């Protein structure tokens, strides 16, 4: 696989940055797009290395790393992200195969609902689709509280609540919402507020991602092959439950992948999962 080449693309309210790694054999397989949200292109370096024969495309979602918003917008929506993905796919040439994780899976589901002709196969890995859960009101309230904490108190206190959210096993309820706020220091997070309010996760996407109402009828009717992936080690954590709920609404069986929510990571952002096993499973799913 060649070294990635970086390109920019103008979109309403943002300049998008995406990277293209050309495959070794120049075969007939479509490009493979690896995406997250707010996780940016660097998070997929290890996973990309497992597909040296494929043309692999990664990108920074609007508001993340290199793809800064140009309109001063305080929040980004899955609809905006899906339109950005459309632009990237049209720039590199579609249709493509897509592996999308977390918020990226939410955005990719919106893309397929609106432009199914652009995606041959979508592997949607643990979308945190609060709107599809039976406890949606409590889940959305928890995310609204994280966003409000970020605006009021800054990164550390809000991120501590986010860590509690994503590690919580089982449904959200009034008891969860009433529990004391976690101590940021216990997570190694800053306790001082630096005054910034431009974090892609806590500021840009927290209120909009999980709350998005998916068009399940369009997804069921789409010619795109949709595989919903859930980590074998994820238990009943938020994103795993979201994935199972989406799979049920689409009418497919959730597919078990190795590890947990970050299993594809190979040291990026200080996290290491089960990247070899994860990539082998993804390869098998894309080839089946």
Q: Are 112 and 140 members of one domain? A: no
Cα radius of gyration (the chain): 18
Q: Are 58 and 158 members of one domain? A: no
Q: Which residue shows structure tokens 């993905």?
A: 85
The pLDDT of residue 159 is above 90: yes
Structural domain includes residue 225 = yes
Q: Are 172 and 278 members of one domain? A: no
Q: Are 237 and 181 members of one domain? A: no
Nearest to 88 by CA among 108, 105, 63: 108
- The 8-class DSSP code of residue 268 comes to G
Beta bridge partners of residue 123, listed in sequence order: 99, 227
Residue ending a domain, choose from 154, 187, 205: 205
Secondary structure element (H or E) that encloses residue 229, with its range: strand 225-231
Q: What is the pLDDT of residues 7-37, one digit of tens each?
A: 999 999 999 999 999 998 766 899 999 999 9
Buried b (16+ CB within 10 A) or exposed e, 248-278: ebbeeebbebbbbbbbbbbebeeeebbbeeb
Q: What pLDDT was estimated at residue 153? A: 97
Beta strand 56-60 pairing with 32-35: parallel
The pLDDT of residue 105 is above 60: yes
Residue ending a domain, choose from 150, 176, 205: 205
Nearest to 114 by CA among 235, 217, 22: 217
Nearest to 205 by CA among 48, 71, 84, 64: 64
Q: Are 85 and 220 members of one domain? A: yes
Q: Are 70 and 151 members of one domain? A: no
Q: Are 15 and 102 members of one domain? A: yes
Contact of 274 with 258, CB cutoff 8 Å: yes
Sort 184 into a burial class: Cβ within 10 Å, 0-12 / 13-18 / 19+: buried
Residue ending a domain, choose from 183, 205, 227: 205
Q: What is the mean pLDDT of the chain?
A: 96
Structural domain includes residue 199 = yes
Q: Are 152 and 264 members of one domain? A: no
Number of domains comprising the chain: 2
The pLDDT of 267-271, averaged and rounded, is 93
Q: Are 193 and 223 members of one domain? A: no
Residue 19: which CATH number? 3.40.50.1820
Beta bridge partners of residue 119, listed in sequence order: 96
Name 256's Cβ contacts closer than 8 Å, sequence gap at least 6. 229, 230, 231, 232
Name 74's Cβ contacts closer than 8 Å, sequence gap at least 6. 203, 204
Q: What is the largest CA-CA distance in the chain?
A: 56
The pLDDT of 69-98, averaged and rounded, is 96
Structural domain includes residue 267 = yes
The pLDDT of residue 242 is above 90: yes
Structural domain includes residue 210 = no
pTM for the complete prediction? 0.96
The DSSP string of 23-67 is -SS--SSPPEEEE-SS--GGGGHHHHHT-TTS-EEEEEPTTBTTB
Q: What is the pLDDT of residues 41-80, one digit of tens each?
A: 999 999 999 999 999 999 999 999 999 999 989 899 999 9
Q: What pLDDT was estimated at residue 26? A: 63
Q: What is the pLDDT of residues 172-207, one digit of tens each?
A: 999 999 999 999 999 999 999 999 999 999 999 999
Q: Rounded to 5 degrees, what angle do the CA atoms 282, 287, 288 make?
A: 100
Q: Is the peptide bond before 17 cis (omega within 30 degrees of 0)?
A: no
Q: What is the dihedral of CA 33, 262, 132, 168, to 10 degrees?
A: -170
Structural domain includes residue 45 = yes
Calpha distance 146→223 (Å, rounded): 37
At 91, the pLDDT band (50, 70, 90 cuts) reads: very high
Domain containing residue 149: 136-205
Structural domain includes residue 98 = yes
The pLDDT of residue 2 is above 80: no
Structural domain includes residue 125 = yes
Q: What pLDDT was estimated at residue 274? A: 97
Q: Are 125 and 141 members of one domain? A: no
At 163, the pLDDT band (50, 70, 90 cuts) reads: very high
The pLDDT of 116-124, averaged and rounded, is 98
The pLDDT of residue 1 is above 70: no
Q: What pLDDT was estimated at residue 24? A: 84
The pLDDT of 205-233, averaged and rounded, is 98
Q: What pLDDT was estimated at residue 25? A: 73
At 3, the pLDDT band (50, 70, 90 cuts) reads: confident
Q: Are 158 and 86 members of one domain? A: no
Q: Are 170 and 226 members of one domain? A: no
């Amino acid at each position: 696989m060649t070294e990635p080449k970086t390109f920019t693309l103008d979109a309403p309210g943002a300049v998008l940055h995406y990277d293209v790694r050309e495959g070794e054999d120049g075969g007939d397989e479509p490009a493979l797009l690896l995406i997250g949200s707010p996780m940016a292109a660097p998070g997929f370096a290890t996973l990309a290395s497992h597909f040296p024969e494929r043309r692999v495309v990664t990108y920074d979602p609007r508001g993340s790393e290199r793809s800064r918003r140009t309109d001063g917008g305080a929040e980004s929506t899955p609809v905006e992200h899906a339109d950005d993905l459309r632009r990237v796919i049209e720039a590199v040439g579609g249709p493509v195969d897509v592996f999308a994780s977390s918020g990226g899976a939410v955005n990719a589901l919106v893309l397929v609902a609106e432009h199914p002709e652009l995606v041959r196969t979508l592997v949607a890995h643990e979308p945190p689709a609060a709107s599809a859960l039976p406890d949606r009101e409590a889940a959305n309230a928890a995310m609204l509280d994280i966003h409000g904490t970020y605006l009021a108190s800054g990164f550390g206190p809000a991120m501590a609540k986010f860590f509690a959210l994503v590690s919580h096993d089982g449904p959200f309820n009034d008891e969860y919402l009433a529990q004391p706020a976690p101590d940021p220091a216990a997570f190694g997070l800053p306790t001082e507020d630096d005054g910034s309010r431009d974090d892609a996760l806590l500021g840009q996407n927290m209120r909009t991602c999980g709350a998005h109402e998916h068009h399940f009828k369009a997804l069921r009717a789409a010619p795109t092959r949709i595989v919903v992936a859930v980590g074998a080690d994820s238990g009943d954590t938020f994103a795993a439950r979201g994935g199972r709920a989406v799979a049920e609404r689409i009418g497919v069986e959730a597919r078990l992948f190795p590890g947990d929510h970050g299993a594809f990571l190979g040291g990026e952002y200080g996290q290491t999962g089960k990247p070899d096993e994860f990539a082998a499973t993804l390869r098998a799913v894309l080839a089946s």
